Amino acid sequence: MTDAGPGPQTGGEGGEGDAAASALLHSLARRGWTIAVAESLTGGLVVAALVSVPGASSLVRGGVTAYATDLKHHLLGVDDTLLDTRGAVDPEVARQMAVGVRDRLGADVGVSTTGVAGPDPQDGQPVGTVFIGIRTPETSVVVPLELTGTRAEIRAEAVRRALDEVRART
């Protein structure tokens, strides 16, 4: 893909994650939107995929890795009663994380990941349960996933799906 205008350029380290990140950033550039990422399950892998694309600095506002449950409240504004009653692996938590990171980092788009990569269940949810929260100027959605595989495979697939799901809405 050639792009004579501003925005991300193709290239980078190669691989499926780079292709998905590049495609998302091109979509954001066409709309003139920026993005911010809130991660738990993926531990920074989504924002790392985005910033691996040359030119990403014009579109990526930043990322918050809120792995500990209390940080979801303190850094992203997730309701603490919700976290106490339902735990961190919950669709409403994913939604609030996406809204919180979008607001706090001043981006047009907020995306979040929360879930269980294993090896053990968490918050009453089985391994492979993932929620991706997406907030844009036009929509607010939570995408539930039931993934299988190793811990690394679940996390990698969650990253790929997060990038693809945001791109589908931009």
pLDDT in tens, 120-149: 999 899 999 999 999 999 999 999 999 999
pLDDT at 158: 98
Alpha-carbon dihedral sign for residues 110, 111, 115, 117: negative
Peptide bond into 137 cis (omega under 30): no
Which residues lie across from 94 on neighbouring strands? none
pLDDT tens-digit map of 8-40: 444 444 445 689 999 999 999 999 999 999 999
Give the domains, in start order, of the chain with CATH numbers. Answer: 16-167 (3.90.950.20)
